[in-house]
Structure 1
Amino acid sequence: MPTLLPAETLLLEGPDATAFAQAQFSSAVNSLATGHWQFSAWLDPQGRVRALFHLARLADERYLLLLRGGDAAEMTDALRRFVFRAKLAVTALPPRALATGPALSLHAVIDDGESVSLGGDTHSLRIGAVGAGDDAWRLMQLHAGWPWLPTPLLGELLPPALSLHRLQAVAIDKGCYPGQEIVARLHFRGGHKRHLHRVTLSQATTAGNALHRDGRMVGCVLDVVAMNDGSEALVVLADDIAAQLSDAHSQPFDDDLALGIVTSWPA
């Protein structure tokens, strides 16, 4: 049985919750309506993604963060260092089950008091569902190119590598936030040479693993879903290596791993 991913969540609550989130996170928080969610990220000053999450506005002054990798308690402790005199409470919630729910409009949020459902169009992601949860949602989100950040990759990747502009998780035209200068430079000047791909794999691997070719580190694995006839994964690859992968399971990597690109996404 695969290990099910828990829901690592935290709450931002108080009169200054919106202003705090707008100043710290990379998305356009001010435009997020109550009852909706958006992708967002918390970047370090060098622009690297230290946390990626669904940001759901449950009420005017109440936000729920569902982390796509990482530990809610650790992020809560780190965020509290920036609260200062703001009228704001940052609270880590106990890990809960994640389960696949029925189809719900993309970015819609339903909070019934016991669980929260985040709309993914073809499905919903239920936080706090009764029971042990499931991971059927993972393949649908992998196909959509929704990254998940395993622990070894927290604080290692820049937004273009995760296609965060496509997911509207980074805003170019909002005020300052950590890493904003790097985000703007990469957006307007380009030059980043690693991007996101959905791939098939010839053998099992683990999320967080590095990908090597002739001894050179050329990418990393974000998420893996085992299938009956192999595995599918989201990976970040160097652009020159991705350009060489024209057929499925071509161009072996080190350790005899073969990889075929199914879909590629821009920054």
Structure 2
Amino acid sequence: MPISPTAQAVLLEGQDAIAFAQSQFTSQVTALPNGQWQFSSWLDAQGRVRVLFHLARLDDQRLLLVLRGGDATTFAEALRRFVFRSRVKVVIADAWTLGNAPAMPMHIVDANSDVIRLGCGTHTLQLSANAGDNDSWRIAQLHAGWPWLPDDALNEFIPPALSLHRLGAIALDKGCYPGQEIVARLHYRGGNKRHLHRVQLSTSVSDGTALLRNDREFVRLLDVIAHAERVEALAVIADDVASNISQDMENVSDDGIEVKLLDSWQS
């Protein structure tokens, strides 16, 4: 499924918005200043990533969550089950579109009533009513190793497999949140055998495609982009398989798609 130009976003509003997010999400929300954003995620009890998002702190009582895959309505409904007595509202944000804007410093948020811009260093991700240039931000983020999760990749990967520690999306020095014990155990004791890679493909396929070799999955693609007469993708690959691919060994799928390793990221 290609990335939708429609921004899937949720607002958390109220006196307990920051504390609620701190208790549910994987990043250090309380350390985030107003007017900045960070990567964050929401895990299930088994430590798998339910949702990955940009978390922007608009002010002392409002957070904007811009999803990197998934559906805002489904996410909001699931999150509301955990509100209990907290003074926080979970609101589906306006029907914005995703586009590109002139570069702003990394993690800076520029927000007004009808346009919100998230500074990404080399470019800016813009949420607005006018779509503008929808696609130019995608290749920059793919090259940076910022994963986008297709629908069938939600609730499947643990944070190290998506290299979320590298993005600052995982805090190990905060109180409990869903999946925190699994995250800590994997970090301190090891056990993760898959990591995120940027690959080149010999032909284009759909986002989320699982490439098979000898009838077994050997490369799981996330976002796939065709540009400049080549096809690139972010992919989750087992470490031993990635080692073979890097040596141009066993790098062709059962249906003849050749995989070339371009970049790799650890946890």
Give the TM-score of the pair, scaled to structure 1. 0.96
- What per-residue deviation string (whole Å, max 9, x for no partner) do you get for residues 90-147 of structure 1? 0012432111011100000000221100000011000115245511100000000000
The one-character-per-residue Cα deviations of 1:244-267 (angstroms, maximum 9, x if unpaired) are 112579721121010111110001
CA distance in structure 1 between the partners assigned to 2:39 and 2:122 by the alignment: 17
Amino acid across the alignment from 1:222: L
Q: Which residue does the alignment assign to 2:188?
A: 188
Moved over 4 A (4+): 247-250
- 1:189/1:124 CA distance change after superposition, 3 Å: same
1:46–1:131 CA distance, 2 compared to 1 (3 A): closer
Instruction: State the partner residue of 2:236.
Output: 236
2:143 corresponding residue in structure 1:
143
Kindly indicate whether residue 72 of structure 2 is the aligned counterpart of residue 95 of structure 1: no
Residues 223/3 of structure 1: CA separation in 2 closer, same or farther (3 Å cut): closer
- What is the distance in 1 between the residues matched to 2:232 and 2:96? 26
Answering whether residue 52 of structure 2 is matched by residue 61 of structure 1, we say no
User: How far apart are 1:228 and its partner, in Å?
Assistant: 3.2
Instruction: Show the counterpart of 1:32.
Output: 32
Letter in 2 for 1:149: L
CA distance in 2 between counterparts of 1:201 and 1:228 reads 13
Distance, in Å, in 1 between the alignment partners of 2:263 and 2:25 is 28
> C-alpha distance in 2, partners of 1:241/1:231?
20
For residues 94 and 212 of structure 1, the distance between their equivalents in structure 2, rounded to whole angstroms, comes to: 40
Secondary structure at the counterpart of residue 78 of structure 2: helix
1: distance between equivalents of 2:154 and 2:5? 16
Alignment of 1:214 with 2:207, yes or no, is no
What's 2:227 paired with?
A: 227
- Tell me the amino acid that sits aligned with residue 164 of structure 1: L
Deviations 1:1-37 (A, max 9, x none): x774321001000000011000000000010000000
Point out where structure 2 has 5 or more consecutive residues left out of the alignment: none
- The DSSP-based 3-state class of the residue aligned with 2:246 is coil
Whole-angstrom distance in 2 between the partners of 1:114 and 1:219:
40
Aligned to 1:50: 50
Structure 2 residue aligned with 1:178: 178
Cα shift readout 1:145-164 (whole Å, capped 9, x = no counterpart): 00000000100000001000
* Paired letter, 2:193: K
The verdict on how the C-alpha distance between 1:248 and 1:262 changes in structure 2, with shifts beyond 3 A counting, is farther
Tell me how large the CA RMSD over aligned residues is. 1.5
Q: Is the 8 A contact 1:100 1:123 kept in 2?
A: yes
Identical residues among aligned pairs (%): 53
Equivalent residue letter for 2:170: V
Aligned residues: 266
Task: Name the TM-score, length of structure 2 as normaliser.
Answer: 0.96
- The question of whether the paired residues in 2 share the 8 Å contact of 1:197 and 1:265 is answered with yes
1:22-69 Cα deviation digits (max 9, x unpaired): 000000001000000000000000000000000000011100000000
Closer/same/farther in 2, CA of residues 110 and 189 from structure 1, 3 Å limit? same
Amino acid across the alignment from 2:54: H
What is the CA distance between 1:212 and its match in structure 2?
Answer: 1.3
The letter of the residue matching 1:255 is: D
Query: For structure 1, which runs of at least 5 residues remain unmatched after alignment?
Result: none
3-state SS, counterpart of residue 134 of structure 1: coil
SS in structure 1 at match of 2:160: helix
**In structure 2, C-alpha distance between the alignment counterparts of 1:227 and 1:202, rounded to whole Å:** 13
Which has the higher mean CA deviation after the structures are superposed, 249-258 or 225-234?
249-258
1:213 CA drift (Å): 1.3
Q: Which moved more, 1:219-228 or 1:5-14?
A: 219-228
Q: Structure 1 CA distance, aligned partners of 2:151 and 2:165?
A: 22
CA contact (8 A) 2:100 2:137 kept: yes
The answer to whether structure 1 residue 107 and structure 2 residue 96 are counterparts is no
Larger mean CA deviation between 123-132 and 243-252 belongs to 243-252
